A and B are shown apart, each in its own frame.
Chain A
Amino acid sequence: MVTPSPGNGLALSLSGIRHGYTIGGDFTAVVSGVTLNVAAGEFVALLGPSGCGKSTLLRLVAGLEPPHDGEILADGLPVHGPDPDRILMFQDPTLYPWRNVRQNVALSQDISGKRDNAAIDQVLSLVGLNGFERAWPHQLSGGMAQRAALARALINRPKLLLLDEPLGKLDALTRLTMQTELHRLWKERGFTAIMVTHDVEEALFLATRIVTLSTRPARILSDIQVDLPFHRHRDDPQVLQLRRDILTQLGHRDDW
């Protein structure tokens, strides 16, 4: 088992979460009865078919929307709204085009009104963006933009990082680099991470635990501890066996 630096992560508990949207007068359930406990410092991958409600689950944990039913506890306290301790990172970098890289990274400091230039410098070098501070977002490549978004998310040392397919739109090679990067950051900072993905390999490379979800409305199909040491190799027989199990679980045994 991996033991990240204690105290930097946040323990999360979801009990009986149900959520949905009213579209044209009809209620459509998106999440139905999800109960999940995440210990501080864990890296949980949520795997499931696209459109199954994984992203909605992250929005609920981030506090952007209150759940229809059920309760979310962060370190034992109910979640009532967004909090800088729980940062959500999106599939798109969503950098503000009118702010340069440095200003984008400093966003949360501008919101709280506490400017700390040393912290900005530190997090910029953490993600390897020194020298690009003054670049405008449209000048960045996809990978660099996502690094900037990562720096923006990490600057205030959040205890929980919610990742909504953050590498989904990157090219295959950049994605490999960013996975290694993400793993390193998680080890260094010791935050709790919940990552939505539909890439089984990515989940196996990064996560300490993989939770598979059903098609919409989402419920938990399986909850697998990945007790393999890091760095995992993608052609390790144990990794391949897990991958086969998970794909079977998701109903893709014959497609692989």
Chain B
Amino acid sequence: MSGTDMAFSGQAITGTASASPAGLRPVLLPWLAGPAWLAAALVTHYWPDADDFPDTNLLAILFGVVGIALLIGAALRLLTVRAPWLIVLGLGLGAWEIAQAKLIALPRPFFGTPQDLLDVFITDWHRLGLSLLHSLGLLAVGYAAGSLSGIAVGIGLGRSKRFRYWTHPILRAIGPLPPVALLPLAFVLIPSSWLAGEALMALASGFPAAILTWSGIAAVDPAYYDVARTMGARERFLTFRVALPAAMPQIFVGLFMGLGASFAMLIVAEMLGVKAGLGFYMQWAQGWAAYPNMYAALFVMSAMCTGLITLLFRVRDRILVWQKDGLKW
């Protein structure tokens, strides 16, 4: 009796003792994000640049605006989870500004300043935007075609012996080949470089989709088929309403891998033959030694790739709601 009492009060004491210092930080942290950005703004504005850089004042204003917005956000209690990241980001941008724009610590022009990057977005946003749209268009067609045919081939491999007999050796011969290796040949054999890029991207995304659809279907518990068969289900139902949904988790792994492979294929195709898109933009920027433009293109590329993967995961989460637990992107 007294033992439990002691345990209880002991717990209560340690509970209150540890609560105060830990409880203070989440309250204070959101209020530090704004000042971090404002400090970056002040440094940018008042510390003279080491060279004649464009848009220094605009950058200072931008940092300042973000800083004020974050203060408002803190007042509205919107920044709780993201506060640490926002603080580090503000401090990091400030440190970059000091190191490169004020001190030129790293050799130019390979390492740019924050204002160089900002200047690219201001002066060249039109071309960057068009390049992004072109890349997205190229990717969408090739990836969709490759994924759909990959799933179709995977279903065939999983459900039909004859299809497997004829397709498996071809898949083994061509599939593991990096699609990039086919690029020089494709640009010669296929008259349109756009079409050649699409074909190779379809190949890049189709192979993992086919293999994982097949493996997903191969792993379906045979009892699932028996249950449907004993109720009179025919081949069509067994394939599309039993095998396919059961294989869905694996299919999404294939779609994810295929998306990564088509990103690589997209950029290489644009660098080597397709005369548009983000890959082409980068190639062009390198030709002119326009390093800030390369950084800007990389930034846009990263946003595009992570955005598309987020989209894929959203679709997956919706279709696989029935799964007990899944990886969150």
Contact = CB atoms under 8 A, between A and B. Distances in A.
Nearest to A97: B322
B226 A98 contact: no
B245 interface: yes
Given A110-B241, A136-B322, A138-B324, A96 B246 contact: yes
Contacts of B224: 94, 96
A172 interface: no
Contact of B223 (A90, A100, A112): A90
Contacts of B221: 94
Contacts of B320: 98
Nearest to B237: A111
Contacts of B232: 82-84, 108, 111-112
Interface residues of B, number: 22
Contact of B227 (A59, A94, A156): A94
Contacts of B223: 90, 92, 94
A187 to B, nearest CB: 24
- Give the size range of A's interface with the partner: 20 to 34
A212 to B, nearest CB: 26
A111 B228 contact: yes
A64 B226 contact: yes
A87 B230 contact: yes
A192 to B, nearest CB: 15
B127 interface: no
A111 B231 contact: yes
B89 interface: no
B230 A111 contact: no
Nearest to A113: B237
Contacts of B231: 82, 84, 87, 107-108, 111-112, 156
A86 interface: yes
Interface in B277-329: 320-324
Contacts of B242: 96
Given A94-B223, A100-B322, A110-B241, A86 B230 contact: yes
Contact of B233 (A63, A111, A138, A156): A111
B77 interface: no
A82 B224 CA distance: 14
A90 B233 contact: no
Nearest to A91: B223
Residue in A96, A99, A110 whose Cβ sees the most chain B Cβ within 10 Å:
A96
B229 interface: yes
B87 to A, nearest CB: 40
Contacts of B226: 59, 64, 88, 90, 94
A225 to B, nearest CB: 29
A150 interface: no
Contacts of A136: 321-322
Residue of A97, A136, A137 ringed by the most chain B CB atoms within 10 A: A97
Contacts of A63: 230
Contacts of B237: 110-111
B208 to A, nearest CB: 22
A98 to B, nearest CB: 4
B248 A98 contact: yes
A101 B324 CA distance: 15
A175 to B, nearest CB: 21
A64 B323 CA distance: 30
Contacts of B233: 111
Contacts of B322: 97-100, 136-138
Interface of A: 59, 62-64, 82-84, 86-88, 90, 92, 94, 96-100, 107-108, 110-112, 136-138, 152, 156
Interface of B: 221, 223-224, 226-233, 237, 241-242, 245-246, 248, 320-324
